[in-house]
Structure 1
């Protein structure tokens, strides 16, 4: 039914756009329309995948009694949370309209004002903001919707066939991943075609065949802002929810009462399982959606600026501007093909305690990942030659392909490095487990050490990728009218796109984790046999690694995307003010102060996010203790705990606590920019606000990258050190080393699932806010 509804909704849109292409067919419109069609096709494929999942067995009545509250709690929190977010988004959209309405044309943007008035630009910017916000919300809802339905089917399949359980779990993640990327392509390509149509009907006489398409991405930055705005609050609210419930359940259940994880006697266990969906599914989907949207738009801006400066003809310029949409269309194709390589031997294996006869799920997923990388490289070679070919510089497309290959390599290295620091088969996690024998303090000390060390290799990889791509771009020979090489910045955008060329597959691995976690909880709480639990335990352990890998991948992609956004910010300031804006001197006191404020924002934001988890967890702990004290029969199975009360407590706390750090992320760059613009007006330095914000962005981005890596990897290492001990090492479950590891895992929880993921959204949100609100911060083009 869902597929039919989508088809009904999409058909008129596609028909109108097809008619427009028939009337005015240009290279740029053809590329954008093709991308739009591919996105719709893959939405249909994802619906087929969803139907395959929904046709599977839903297990016993006891399983469904556990699954139904998880579904109700997850969807209930999502609806309430997004109701709050959309109220804030509507206010923000109105303010955005007023900001753009209040500015007058400047010398740098005279082209666009031949086609659109100030009111039209303001209206389109606010509408694109709302479209980006709605697409982000829809991608998050798709993640939750499939997760709360796939979890019970994975649990049921684990009783019969390991291969089926693995495939359902992975395809559940793949469904939301495909929807995620397809929505980003659909939203941006639709808005591009809409703007192209507006340019066509409003073109001055004789200009309809050569519209300024390089200006379109600048108008559409509101789409990325809307995606970032929703992602921030979704990740914050979901992260606070999931970790407050997790911390409360672990401390009272495992430590104080010595009961297993996901034990049905724990009143907070349903809230914990709900949290996996609202944090790791909805939050992560919204995060990747805004990463992809921001990367597409910033790369389009850079491609348009470079093509215009190089004097490329309209057809060639179209390829450079719309190349990001082509890359993500390629991602949909190669990643979806690779999803079907995730399979192992059918049937139920002979069970052993060390899982010796069960093929490691991570090995199975790696096989598909390697297929996606190979297919991506082949596809990138073709599309670089097809869309980035310059007749006067025939070797340029090869250099751009090498840049994309650098991005693919970075993607691979980030996942490998993250796995090394978070998988218990490697030394760093084992060292934390070993130190747990000495007590709680040594576990924390070693975990901090591992987290801090884990920032080193990723930063080296990021630095290598940026400088390599930049030099390869310079070697293309593309230059401006003064003969200066200008291909470097766009080449870094190509590298970022290469990193995303298998993004759907990586996001599928991320969605695998919470589904496996929920399936394990359902199996445990419904009293299934040890053999069934062994399968879901193995899936859950690997799910922790894939979630950590995706977080590392997200930080890497955020780093490169922020570099693109920063470059796009400089370009937009030049475009909107008509002033040269290339050099930022941090020796200038105001700019240095802006940098300090940027770093401070990251630290304060992290503090508030972690504190929010602690405050919400306190309420959960009090409630669980109360239930155990007033109803002692819960621990002896004579009474059932009140799960709904804990769900309600965390629900309220998650919504209440997300507002403070969320508003900090939105208001801090606006406050800094406006304040220094006023100072600049009094000191006759009209660009001071924009310059100080550039310093703010540089420092916030570099600090945020390091903090996110530390939190994500440190938290993941603490988590898997606990799981390593639970395999039987150092006394196994219930021992003193295990109790110390639970403490470390509890400390790491808000780091890896609340603060860490929120920080890499934070740095992208800061970049998109400054990009979309340039008229507010610059001293030109304002009334």
Structure 2
């Protein structure tokens, strides 16, 4: 077991070093573009009066971008570091019992998740503190608090940039190796999954770490960082500079001390680390309600309920302590209700994901039954389940957004100038905080999946008894469900807060031009066309990601077939396969293939803004570039949410349909139904582990890049 684990670790370390060296070069190049963009931008009146210069903003935003990128890369390393050490421990624990293996995998995932969340809080707090100290924020003749988010936007963009390329490269690596290994090993040669005779098996196991753990570590950091900044960043109506969301509300409602409103998001995530740790530790090796025979997913949900209950208590205390307003004594409770709406939304997502991806429920069994009539019917059923699965999450998100907005609007806070009710946007932001109040535990379940999958491979390659493999197979199946849960959860939180970004972007444009910009009119032909381009970008990005996996997998298939043909002794175990050859092929291909979709994601909003800015100048249409980018962002977000939900859920359902048949249903392993299910799983692999998670990052990066690059779109 240790020998196999060491080989996996060496492969993961090598790919990580080469991949992140390339990402670092791309990040430095983009940092130069950001610096030049901000060096040429105009400043608002308030910024000029505070003593800022263009160079100041250029340097601050560039440094923040590089720091965000570095922190995201470090989070990716934490994910990989944990997984390559935990896999063999989980495999060893599986020899002693299912519950112990589950506990080891869960705590390993918890370590990575809590480090990521804590790093996000520390990173944002560090920037906030340094910026405030150096520029005397809030003091006489010092900088305005309103300018603080400009630095944070660069931080979020850096995190998004690294996460996108990490997810693309890692996702292409893991699925190319997985697909290549399955197509030749399981379908053509008829050998089991993770069989040591398969030359691509080590590359497949390495991929679990660099694709699911390392890439997901960077992605998870970016997710939390982006959500914090989305709730922190806001530009209130009729203001002239970027403002902290809580500070904007406090100013409009004439609340003397806005400290609690400003720091509330960071406090919620700090509490998240505590309550999620308690939930993780509540999952014992042989206790915790139900005994050792309890289904693993129910055990994980038991820990989630503990974290959820504690988060409700912590949220109640935090809202009362930080959001109490003397002029509206009941406002804090309204915001607490908003948080509970978000918490209920999160819990709903857990059940929706389980229903569509766990083979205990009808959707996955429908796919398994369709496999009995062939490969084509399996694909049709899987696509149908994936498309259907988008409905329930959208309805839940819609109810949550509307409910949270109106509860926040009725909190009793009024605009000091207009006497109109205010607090709706902040209520929606608090709902997002409620949804993410147990994010660390949900992220724990995400990292749990690939660790369990890796452990199963080690068990298979080290010729452990079938009973041990049965344990790791069950944990792997649960991991497919937990990964689908986390991905849907992340998409839901992004959707819940997405329209805040529209307001942030439009008011930033208004701040630097002085021209009212509060409505995006899609009846303007150029804006509608830009929206279509935004939707097209999502589909084209998905195509690039999936075809990248296909091309890389073809190289693996060719190599595995070559080794089987030239060395027949591999099948009789007389000759050991050349694992390193497949590892190097997949690594080179993944690094090459990740560039095209990555460049598309970064360049598309910039090109749309610049092109339509020129069109606007030629046709005398004011702010056409900025309006076009807003339309693109709106359409791309909606298309991306639906596409990501479809890809993530369909892929997880196909995978577990295969797992269900492998339990003995419809003929079990080796049957025609099993072969059809393997085909479905192969199609679903790039959906759920490459394109789907990458679209999740794409949505947030499009939002942050429009905020950072806004000066390029202005007349």
The corresponding residue for 2:614 is 678
Query: Once the 2 structures are TM-superposed, how far is the Cα of residue 634 of structure 1 from its aligned partner?
Result: 0.2
Which of 273, 277, 284 aligns to 1:336? It is: 277
Distance 2:421 2:553 in 1: 55
Query: Once the 2 structures are TM-superposed, how far is the Cα of residue 656 of structure 1 from its aligned partner?
Result: 0.3
- The answer to whether 1:325 aligns with 2:266 is yes
The corresponding residue for 2:3 is 65
- The answer to whether 1:661 aligns with 2:597 is yes
Equivalent residue runs for 1:374-773 within 5 Å: 374-480=309-415, 481-773=417-709
Q: Which runs of 5+ in 1 are unaligned?
A: 1-62, 347-354
- The answer to whether 1:164 aligns with 2:100 is yes
Distance 1:370 1:564 in 2: 29
Query: Once the 2 structures are TM-superposed, how far is the Cα of residue 620 of structure 1 from its aligned partner?
Result: 0.1
Query: Once the 2 structures are TM-superposed, how far is the Cα of residue 307 of structure 1 from its aligned partner?
Result: 2.6
- The answer to whether 1:74 aligns with 2:3 is no
- Residues 405, 427 of structure 2: 8 Å contact kept: yes
Query: Once the 2 structures are TM-superposed, how far is the Cα of residue 367 of structure 1 from its aligned partner?
Result: 0.7
How has the CA–CA distance of structure 1 residues 571 and 377 changed in structure 2, closer, same or farther, with 3 Å as cutoff?
farther
Which of 364, 375, 382 aligns to 2:299? It is: 364
- How far does the alpha carbon of each residue in 1:332-381 deviate from its partner, in whole angstroms, 9 at most, with x for none? 111111110112418xxxxxxxx996332211111110011111111111
**Local SS of the residue matching 1:200:** coil
The corresponding residue for 2:31 is 93
The corresponding residue for 2:229 is 297
How has the CA–CA distance of structure 1 residues 760 and 113 changed in structure 2, closer, same or farther, with 3 Å as cutoff?
farther
Query: Once the 2 structures are TM-superposed, how far is the Cα of residue 665 of structure 1 from its aligned partner?
Result: 0.2
Distance 1:285 1:589 in 2: 41
- The answer to whether 1:83 aligns with 2:24 is no
Equivalent residue runs for 1:106-255 within 5 Å: 106-107=44-45, 110-111=46-47, 113-200=49-136, 206-207=140-141, 212-255=144-187
The corresponding residue for 1:105 is 43
- Residues 250, 256 of structure 2: 8 Å contact kept: no
Query: Once the 2 structures are TM-superposed, how far is the Cα of residue 289 of structure 1 from its aligned partner?
Result: 1.2
Give the TM-score normalised by the residue count of structure 1. Answer: 0.88
Give the TM-score normalised by the residue count of structure 2. Answer: 0.96
Distance 1:178 1:600 in 2: 36
The corresponding residue for 1:306 is 248
Query: Once the 2 structures are TM-superposed, how far is the Cα of residue 306 of structure 1 from its aligned partner?
Result: 2.7
Distance 1:243 1:501 in 2: 31
- How far does the alpha carbon of each residue in 1:438-497 deviate from its partner, in whole angstroms, 9 at most, with x for none? 000100111111011000001101111111111111111333312233311121111111
Distance 1:195 1:97 in 2: 18
The corresponding residue for 1:20 is none
Distance 1:294 1:113 in 2: 30
- The answer to whether 1:268 aligns with 2:200 is yes
Q: Which runs of 5+ in 2 are unaligned?
A: 235-244
**Local SS of the residue matching 2:359:** coil
- Residues 437, 736 of structure 1: 8 Å contact kept: yes
- Residues 90, 102 of structure 2: 8 Å contact kept: yes
- Residues 105, 113 of structure 1: 8 Å contact kept: no
How has the CA–CA distance of structure 1 residues 308 and 215 changed in structure 2, closer, same or farther, with 3 Å as cutoff?
farther
The corresponding residue for 1:37 is none
Query: Once the 2 structures are TM-superposed, how far is the Cα of residue 550 of structure 1 from its aligned partner?
Result: 1.1
- Residues 213, 447 of structure 2: 8 Å contact kept: yes
Query: Once the 2 structures are TM-superposed, how far is the Cα of residue 688 of structure 1 from its aligned partner?
Result: 1.4
Distance 1:684 1:312 in 2: 40
- Residues 319, 336 of structure 2: 8 Å contact kept: yes
Distance 2:114 2:499 in 1: 26
RMSD: 1.7
Equivalent residue runs for 1:29-40 within 5 Å: none
Query: Once the 2 structures are TM-superposed, how far is the Cα of residue 278 of structure 1 from its aligned partner?
Result: 0.9
**Local SS of the residue matching 2:72:** helix
- How far does the alpha carbon of each residue in 1:275-325 deviate from its partner, in whole angstroms, 9 at most, with x for none? 11111111212122111111111211231463365153452x222222111
**Local SS of the residue matching 2:706:** helix
Distance 2:51 2:160 in 1: 28
Distance 2:683 2:475 in 1: 24
Distance 1:704 1:329 in 2: 30
- Residues 380, 404 of structure 1: 8 Å contact kept: yes
